[in-house]
Amino acid sequence: MSQYDWALRSDWRILYKIIFAMSLLFLSHLNVFFIKWLLWIPPEHPYLTYRLLVMGGVALHCFREYYEFCCNRNVRSVNQPTSQPTNRQ
């Protein structure tokens, strides 16, 4: 298993990037409650369960890329691959 060290005290920009990511996470949680209130969907409805599973799967991948963007100096953008692709035949 990989060891993650966010190094929040090493650079103030990393701290602000993490605060930005957390605020987006809180907004997405607020979105769930807004959808339940606006559409009157009961909490046991399968749509909410499926949406939670899909968004959770997407969030795992996104936070891994965001971690690389915050902590790896060689990565210049969020969607940049961290290694060169290999030609498989």
Domain residue spans of the chain:
12-71
Concatenating the DSSP letter of every residue in 4-72 gives ----TTT-HHHHHHHHHHHHHHHHHHHHHHHHHHHHT--TT-HHHHHHHHHHHHHHHHHHHHHHHHHH-
Q: With 70 as the cut, is the pLDDT of residue 4 above it?
A: no
- pLDDT per position as a tens digit, 23-57: 988 888 788 778 778 888 887 889 878 888 898 88
Q: With 60 as the cut, is the pLDDT of residue 5 above it?
A: yes
Q: What is the pLDDT of residue 56?
A: 84
Distance of CA 43 to the CA centre of its chain: 24
Q: What is the pLDDT of residue 15?
A: 80
- pLDDT per position as a tens digit, 66-83: 877 777 777 777 665 555
Q: With 70 as the cut, is the pLDDT of residue 64 above it?
A: yes
The verdict on pTM exceeding 0.85 is no
